[in-house]
Amino acid sequence: MADIVQETVDPRIRRTRLLLQHALEKLLETKEFEKISVQDIADAATLNRATFYDHYADKFALLECMVGTRFQELLDKRGVKFDGGCSSALRAIVLGVCDFLAGVRGLACERQRQMEPHMESAVIAVVRRMILEGLQRHPLANGVSAEMMATTLSWAIFGAAKEWVRTPGRCGSEEIAEIVLGLVGPMFGVGQG
C-alpha cells in the first residue's frame, strides 16, 4: 500500500501501478475477484506478468493498494484532515468510510467475499494513519498511546460502517455517521457537534 502515501515515486512506476489498478478495477466490473488471474490483470493493463510482479506480490496486494488509494482519494477530495480532537473531522472520516463502503459493489453479498479482508485492511490502514497523525500532533491527556487509540478507533469505525452497509433498509450515511461518532467520540473526549 505504499502508493497511498504520496511519496516521491518515479512517474513511470506510478503510471504502471495506476495501469494495473485501473485494469483490476475494470475486470471487477464483469468478473468475480477469485476468478481474476494475474495474467488477466497484466493483459488488461497491456503489460507482461513480470512487470506485474515488479510492482505487486500478487493480486491481493494490488487490490489492497487499489482500495487504499481510492479511499484516500475520496477523503482528499472531501478535504478530510484529522487534527486529534475535532469532532467534525472525526465525523468526516466516519462518513467517508460509510460512503466508500456503500459504493463498493458486492460488499453486502457473498459474491466478492475473497476481496473483503484486503479491502478491510486497506481502509483501516488509511483511517488509522489519519487518526494517528492527528493524535501525534495533539497527544491524549489520558495516557493512552496514540498508536493504541488510532488502532482502536480505525477498527471500530470500519466495523460499524461494515455492519451498517449489510443492514437491510439501513438509515442514511449522515445518520449513521452521527451514531458512530456518538459511540467512538467519547473514547478520547470528542463529543458530538
Q: Is residue 193 part of a domain?
A: no
Q: Which three cell numbers stand for residue 73?
A: 482519494
Residue 73 lies in a domain: no
Q: What is the pLDDT of residues 27-76, one digit of tens each?
A: 988 888 889 999 999 999 999 999 999 999 999 999 989 988 888 898 88
pLDDT at 164 over 90: yes
Please, what is the Cα angle at 114 between 102 and 176, to 5 degrees?
20
User: Which CA distances in Å does 184 have to 22, 28, 106, 180?
Assistant: 34, 33, 27, 6
Considering the domain architecture, whether residues 94 and 51 belong to the same structural domain is answered as no
**In total, how many domains does the chain have?**
2
- What is the model's pTM? 0.79
Domain range for residue 15? 1-58
**Are residue 124 and residue 176 in the same domain, yes or no?**
yes
Residues 53 and 140 in one domain: no
**The pLDDT value given to residue 4:** 46
Instruction: Please check whether residues 84 and 178 belong to one and the same domain.
Output: yes
Distance CA 135, CA 84 (A): 4
- Say if residue 83 is in the same domain as residue 49: no
Indicate the angle between helix axes 146-165 and 87-102, nearest 10 degrees: 40
Q: Are residues 83 and 177 in the same domain?
A: yes
Q: Is residue 146 part of a domain?
A: yes
Spatial distance between the Cα atoms of 155 and 21, rounded to a whole number of angstroms: 25
Residue 118 has pLDDT above 90, yes or no: no
63 falls within a domain: no
